[in-house]
């Protein structure tokens, strides 16, 4: 398996623009997590899905953030409108189940100017 | 809310020395604890997973212990090499399935 695949790897956008980050989990994994990493706050859980259903989105910072998982092999994290303080590395992770070993993608480095 | 702490924040050792990385967590009701490695600008690589019922887990030169009752885990890396230089993160999986991370320990192994 190729592991968790995220795209794009790098994204530079202007403030106010919509940004969509994509994630393809490992085949057969039923749980998917979105994290954000910054120097100041470390790794923060934004939202996680189990069997394509959002279980906990309490980490989503604002209504500008939304996430979907339309099927077992694809998820998106959207920021609209984007702001400079959203600049961070966004990671997607998947695991076979909600309590099993998690595997991370290579991340998307987002820069909002 | 689960709080995970890693001490020290940074560590520099000469090649060949054994490494000891500490992780503590506040809520002992966990499913498991996972150790990761992160190289600069890269993603997280899973190193070891210890289930809550286990006391330790080994993989090559790596050994991780878990004392759930005291909320502590330790990662030992034997005979360190320059290639071990990276940031090491521990993460506790709580009963609500959230994986909570520590801030990491940045390790430098000097040749």
B39 at A interface, C-beta within 8 A: no
pLDDT of B19-33, one tens digit each?
999 999 999 999 999
pLDDT of B55-106, one tens digit each?
999 999 999 999 999 999 999 999 999 999 999 999 999 888 888 999 999 9
B4, burial (CB in 10 Å: exposed 0-12, middle 13-18, buried 19+): buried
When CB atoms are compared, the residue of B34, B42, B104 closest to A102 is: B34
Contact B49 A107 (CB under 8 A): no
Percentage of chain A modeled with pLDDT above 90: 89
Residue B10 structure tokens: 């940074």
pLDDT of B8-67, one tens digit each?
999 999 999 999 999 999 999 999 999 999 999 899 999 999 999 999 999 999 999 999
- Which residue, among B58, B32, B36, has the nearest Cα to B47 in the 3D structure? B36
Report d(CA B88, CA B19) in Å as an integer.
11
User: CA A67 from chain center: how many Å?
Assistant: 8
Helix (H) or strand (E) holding A101: none
Residue A1 has pLDDT above 70, yes or no: no
Residue A98 has a pLDDT of: 74
pLDDT of A50-61, one tens digit each?
999 999 999 998
* Residue of chain A minimizing CA distance to B31: A99
Lowest mean pLDDT among A2-6, A74-78, B21-25, B82-86: A2-6
Residue A74 has a pLDDT of: 96
pLDDT of A15-51, one tens digit each?
999 999 999 999 999 999 999 999 999 999 999 999 9
Report d(CA B58, CA B49) in Å as an integer.
9
Average pLDDT, chain B: 95
CA of A79 to nearest chain B CA: how many angstroms apart? 21
Rg of chain B on CA atoms, in Å: 13
Contact A42 B104 (CB under 8 A): yes
Helix (H) or strand (E) holding B30: strand B30-38
- Which residue, among B30, B12, B24, has the nearest Cα to B82 in the 3D structure? B12
Residue A92 has a pLDDT of: 97
């Amino acid at each position: 398996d190729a592991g968790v695949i995220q795209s794009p790897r790098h994204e530079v956008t202007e403030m106010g623009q919509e940004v969509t980050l994509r994630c393809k989990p490992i085949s057969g994994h039923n749980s998917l997590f979105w994290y954000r990493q910054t120097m100041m706050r470390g790794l923060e859980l934004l939202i996680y899905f189990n069997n394509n259903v959002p279980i906990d989105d309490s980490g989503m910072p604002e209504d500008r953030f939304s996430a979907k998982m339309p099927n077992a092999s694809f998820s998106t994290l959207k920021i609209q409108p984007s702001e400079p303080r959203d600049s961070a590395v966004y990671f997607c992770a998947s695991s076979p189940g909600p309590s099993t070993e998690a595997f991370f993608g290579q991340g998307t480095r987002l820069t909002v100017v | 809310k689960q709080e995970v702490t890693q001490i020290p924040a940074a560590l520099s050792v000469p090649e060949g020395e054994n490494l000891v990385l500490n992780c503590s967590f506040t809520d002992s009701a966990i499913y498991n604890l996972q150790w990761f490695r992160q190289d600069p600008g890269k993603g997280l690589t899973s190193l070891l997973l210890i289930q809550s019922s286990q006391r330790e887990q080994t993989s090559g030169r790596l050994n991780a212990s878990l004392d759930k009752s005291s909320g502590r885990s330790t990662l030992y890396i034997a005979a360190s090499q320059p290639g071990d230089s990276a940031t090491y993160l521990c993460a506790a999986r709580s009963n609500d399935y959230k994986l909570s991370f520590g801030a990491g320990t940045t390790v430098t192994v000097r040749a």
